[in-house]
Amino acid sequence: MTIEGFYKKFTGLLYGPESNLEWLRIPESFLATATNGQIFYDGEGTFTSIRERLLRFYPAHEAKGGLLERRCGMRNQGKAGKSGSA
C-alpha cells in the first residue's frame, strides 16, 4: 500500500481535507487511525507531512465543542421522535 493509499483508505482523501465539509465526513475512528501512533521510518517525509496536515486542519469550531454539540443534538432528535410517538 502506498502512503497516499493509506490516507485515502482512512480519510477518503489522498492528502487530507481541504474544507470543513470534507473534514466532517471523516469518521472519528478513521482520523484516530491516521493520526495516532509512532512513525518508525518516513524517509521522504511524505507520511509525516500528510499526518501533520490532518492534525493542523482540525477546524476551530470543532476544537471548541462543535462535534460534541452536534452529537448531543442528534441524540436529542432521536429522543424527541420517540417521545412524540408515545
How many Å apart are CA 27 and CA 86, to the nearest integer? 33
Mean pLDDT of the chain: 75
Output the CA–CA distances (angstroms, integers) from residue 76 to 22, 60, 82, in the order listed.
25, 24, 10
Do the beta carbons of residue 19 and residue 27 sit within 8 Å? no
Quote the pLDDT of residue 68: 53
22 versus 85: which is more confidently predicted?
22
Cβ-based neighbours of 28, under 8 Å, separated by 6 or more: 67
Q: What is the mean pLDDT of residues 55-68?
A: 62
Q: What is the mean pLDDT of residues 39-59?
A: 85
| Most confident among 4-8, 29-33, 67-71 (mean pLDDT) | 4-8
Confidence of residue 71 (pLDDT cuts 50, 70, 90): low
Do the beta carbons of residue 15 and residue 7 sit within 8 Å? yes
Do the beta carbons of residue 40 and residue 20 sit within 8 Å? no
Supply the pTM of this predicted model: 0.61
Task: Give the length of the chain.
Answer: 86
